[in-house]
Amino acid sequence: MNQKCAHKLICLALAIQAGLLLACGTSSPTADVEPPPPSPVPHSPPAITQQPADVTCTYYVALDGDDGNPGTQEKPWATLQHATDAAQPGDTVCLREGVYHQYAELARSGAPGQPITYTAAPGETVWLDGQGADWKYGINLGDPGVSYITIIGLNMRHWQDETGDGGCIISWSDSDYITIRDAELHHCGHGSISFYENSDYVTVENVTIHDNTLVGMDCGNGPCRHWVLRSVRAVNNGLGDSDTAADGIAIEGGDDILVEDCEASGNSGDGFDFKSSGTTLRRVVAIGNGRDNIKLWGQRSSLINGLSVDAGMVGLVLSGGGSYTVTHSLIASRRSYGYLAEFGADNEDETPVTLYNTIFYNDDPEMGGTIVAFSSGVQLQADHNLYYNPYREEDVICAYFLGSEDEACFARTQINDGTWFARTGQGEHSAYGDPLFVDASNKDFHLSAGSPAIDMGTPAWSCSDDLERNTRPTGDAPDLGPYEYPEED
């Protein structure tokens, strides 16, 4: 193993790979618009993928078009609404370069294997801008909604009324098989992408969302099932004041949700808030949200290669009554006094928790609280974890499934002297100690040479890559946390 990694804090790779062992695009659009604000810490932004040159356009829309035209490349239509009224399953509507102050209400669905596609023309940049459009929703999928729709490369902004209500893309119910990708969406009222009820098989990929009045994107009442969110960046949403609804990405109910290579940072509410079951968060980053950085509620939920830093409240919350696996993650610091991580929160229901290869770390004197609290309902399986908070000597870990506070809480010395393991049967290979990050004060949480986290993990609960998609392990055993120490040259 070798010298410190030169990468800065959050460099999420662009390639997407599925598959477990627990297995374990996009630059901003180039329109004449203000760029999205920076994250609270350095981050490589998602890259917006240019549309493939071999797109076959059935119809064209252009700023100099006319809805009386046939919609060809030479004689395009003028409005997206006219195109949506005409498009049939399997058709592709291409918008030519420019800023369109117009909205569309979709009334026709595609079909299995024949979606209706609305896309920027190959190599061109398109914005749908609500300023002057005299309406608050950019693309309305309907109620009940249309299905089998693909939206590619349509950047959207300023879809809100004077009260801050509105949205860029919205479905009120029953929109299935919807794909949205390769876009920047901002100042979109209630949220950039909102599905309220009964929407399944939704894919959102390579999308940057920021500066909405409320949420970044959400599934409201649900249920929403079989969603894939990949390379989505939701930052700086909400009007401040720790608004409980102003989350980065939220799903209020559903099942089978995959979230990978995503970031939710600087939002007024929670970063990631998922009440769905069967939820997997893989290679995700949550930094500086006003409330909880990551909150999971459902059965069969997992956090793999997660990074949570500087939460306004709790860095990681696992709600009571769910079942959870957490591995290769880092929960670091919070900006107020209290638990750094809380497992079995909100109630005392039976809550199986599997916890391995993870670091809990605090360097903020404001956070002098307990590092991890396990409720009385938690059924814990845990080992190969590292704990560190120099601002607290007693009650570093509290496991209330053992009984009262006097019986349940452990000092830092008791983690290392075997008391924690003897009392719980968990954590035989866990430890209390400084993980020796490269530069924690500047939010570089890569491991430095000599870190006790190097080779401290167990392969039984490891994955094939790290947060930056570097291969793991590089040494005799996997390292703790989301970053694998680089292989020696």
**Chain segment 164-210, per-residue pLDDT in tens:** 899 999 999 999 999 999 999 999 999 999 999 999 999 999 999 99
Give the least confident one: 19-28, 54-63, 169-178, 445-454.
19-28
Examine residue 49 and state whether it is found in any structural domain, yes or no: no
**Mean pLDDT, residues 222-249:** 88
For 464-481, what is each residue's pLDDT tens digit? 999 999 999 999 999 999
pLDDT, position 23: 47
Residue 7: pLDDT above 80? no
- 38 or 357, greater pLDDT: 357
Classify 419 as helix, strand or coil. Answer: helix
Tally DSSP H helices, then E strands, for the chain: 4, 36
Across 360-369, 398-407, 455-464, which has the greatest mean pLDDT?
A: 455-464
Residue 150: pLDDT above 90? yes
d(CA 242, CA 59) in angstroms, rounded, equals: 45
Write phi, then psi, for 229 (nearest 5 degrees).
Answer: -115, 120
Residue 16: pLDDT above 70? no
Which range of residues forms the domain containing residue 379? 98-108+116-461
pLDDT, position 364: 86
- Within 8 A by CB and 6+ apart from 284, the residues are 259, 260, 261, 262, 263, 264, 272, 294, 303, 305, 306, 307
Examine residue 67 and state whether it is found in any structural domain, yes or no: no
Judge whether 467 and 9 are in contact, CB under 8 Å.
Answer: no
d(CA 36, CA 213) in angstroms, rounded, equals: 15
Classify 415 as helix, strand or coil. Answer: helix
CA nearest 302: which of 353, 228, 339?
353
Q: What is the DSSP string of 153-184?
A: SEEEE----TTS--EEEEESS---SEEEEEEE
User: Which pLDDT band, with edges at 50, 70 and 90, does 37 fall under?
Assistant: very low
Examine residue 151 and state whether it is found in any structural domain, yes or no: yes
For 289-315, what is each residue's pLDDT tens digit? 999 999 999 999 999 999 999 999 999
User: Which pLDDT band, with edges at 50, 70 and 90, does 157 fall under?
Assistant: very high
Residue 447: pLDDT above 90? yes
d(CA 205, CA 305) in angstroms, rounded, equals: 19
Residue 154: pLDDT above 80? yes
Indicate which CATH number applies to the domain containing 322: 2.160.20
Instruction: Count the domains in the chain.
Output: 1
What mean pLDDT, rounded, does the chain reach? 89
For 193-204, what is each residue's pLDDT tens digit? 999 999 999 999
For 351-374, what is each residue's pLDDT tens digit? 999 999 999 999 888 878 899 999
d(CA 250, CA 248) in angstroms, rounded, equals: 7
Examine residue 419 and state whether it is found in any structural domain, yes or no: yes
Classify 268 as helix, strand or coil. Answer: coil
Amino acid (one-letter) located at 442 = N
Cα-based distances in Å from 200 to 232, 255, 276, 297:
18, 9, 13, 19
Examine residue 93 and state whether it is found in any structural domain, yes or no: no
**Mean pLDDT, residues 416-433:** 97
Examine residue 124 and state whether it is found in any structural domain, yes or no: yes
d(CA 214, CA 245) in angstroms, rounded, equals: 7
pTM, full prediction: 0.90
**Mean pLDDT, residues 419-430:** 97
Examine residue 290 and state whether it is found in any structural domain, yes or no: yes
pLDDT, position 55: 87
In sign, the C-alpha dihedral spanning 382, 386, 390, 393 is positive
Residue 20: pLDDT above 50? no
Write phi, then psi, for 250 (nearest 5 degrees).
Answer: -140, 140
User: Which pLDDT band, with edges at 50, 70 and 90, does 222 fall under?
Assistant: confident
For 316-345, what is each residue's pLDDT tens digit? 999 999 999 999 999 999 988 999 999 999
Residue 249: pLDDT above 90? yes
Examine residue 166 and state whether it is found in any structural domain, yes or no: yes
